[in-house]
Amino acid sequence: MTAAKVILGKRPELIRFSITESYETVLHIAVLGESPELVDYLVSIMSKDDLEIPNINGATALHIAAITGNTEIATILIRENNNLLDIPDHDGKTPIDIAALCRKRDMVDLLYKESQQMTGEFWTNENRGLVLIKCVEANLFNVALQMVTKHPVLATNGSVLRLLARIPHDFLVLSPVFRICPWKIQFPHKESDSDALQLLRFILKDIGKLPKNELVAILKGPPDETKEDEKKTPYEKETQEALHLLRTISENIAKMPAQIYSLFQNSANNKTPPLNEGNRKYSSRVLFIAAEIVNCKHSFSNTLHTMKHFLKSKYGGKQPDDNPHLVWELNDNS
């Protein structure tokens, strides 16, 4: 550090220069080397703008700290410039995204708190939802639970429910945790201390408030790609989905000014074929995902026990034993 002080004392402008082929500055290297003393010295002679200098990938020094998981260094950087929390790299990833991807639990917790629980102008439900998914994928359920508690709208993200359904049952037991009885969620009297279980309960409680068609759509999961879909270019897929959305809007929005309505009507009358929902398959149904994971870990009798709660509620409160054929129903990809 003494050598750095001597050089920078004579040539302070070097603090902003790239010193690697990837355009890292001295600060990037100091953070990567996990040297809090050097980082503390460097930020003391840098401006706020200097701290935001990115490398070739658009990563700031805080992105690098997120990779290493060094919360002491991250705290120093945030103290000097908390705008670093909301600066994305060239892939659109913020430091908390990177920390979640790298499974740095303490770093994710720090960045979430320092970002005021992702409530700044930068944050939207869309990018909050992406962080939530990364946290669940990394088994960071404590922070994920904080996120959905602060932003309940995130609980209706079907992707999160499908991720939870894939968790091995020696960690997350689905069968005694919830039942769906005529589209309402019921829970057992005994509570668990597991963050994953609490997250699952919270999500199910919120999706249980949705209209039946929305709840069914979440439980069904996204449709599989058809052979026709596979042949289409990404542009053709996006165009078809956009026009399908326009048709839906034109059919459901009432009392729209005539001039605006005519624009949507023109889109609705074009010859672009509608999304072929009738022939689509759904092999990502939440119930089947959960059952497959159970079957990997336990005997079929346990799988049957897990499915009974769903079948009982889905068929008007009848006992699953009254409908024995339902146990042998196949998923769409079977």
Q: pLDDT digits over 38-78, tens only?
A: 999 999 999 999 999 999 999 999 999 999 999 999 999 99
Alpha-carbon span 167 to 163, nearest angstrom: 7
pLDDT, residue 135, reads: 95
Average model confidence (pLDDT) for the chain? 75
pTM assigned to the model: 0.66
Contact by Cβ (8 Å): 218, 210: yes
Residue boundaries of the structural domains of the chain = 2-123, 148-222+281-334, 227-279
Does the pLDDT value for residue 24 go beyond 50? yes
- How would you write 51-79 as a 3-class SS string? HCCCCCCCCCHHHHHHHHCCHHHHHHHHH
pLDDT, residue 331, reads: 57
Q: What is the DSSP letter of 321?
A: G
pLDDT, residue 157, reads: 82
Least confident of 7-11, 38-42, 254-258: 254-258
Q: How confident is the model at residue 208 (pLDDT cuts 50, 70, 90)?
A: confident
Section 187-205 average pLDDT: 69
pLDDT, residue 168, reads: 59
Contact by Cβ (8 Å): 286, 293: no
Contact by Cβ (8 Å): 197, 211: no
Alpha-carbon span 204 to 210, nearest angstrom: 10
263 to 88, 227, 256, 275: CA distances (angstroms): 36, 32, 11, 20
Beta bridge partners of 179: 186
Does the pLDDT value for residue 263 go beyond 50? yes
Does the pLDDT value for residue 209 go beyond 80? yes
| pLDDT per residue as tens digits for the range 92-135 | 999 999 999 999 999 999 999 999 999 988 999 999 999 999 99
- The strand ranges marked E within 170-240 are 179-181, 184-186
pLDDT, residue 90, reads: 95
| pLDDT per residue as tens digits for the range 308-322 | 444 454 445 544 444
Q: What is the DSSP letter of 275?
A: P
Contact by Cβ (8 Å): 307, 321: no
Q: Which CATH class is domain 2-123?
A: mainly alpha
pLDDT > 90: percent of the chain? 40
pLDDT, residue 194, reads: 77
Angle between helices 141-150 and 125-137 (to 10 degrees): 160
| pLDDT per residue as tens digits for the range 141-185 | 999 999 999 999 998 888 888 888 777 544 444 444 444 444 444
Dihedral pair phi/psi, residue 121, rounded to 5° = -60, -30
Would you report the helix, strand and coil content of the chain in percent, each value rounded to 5? 60, 0, 35
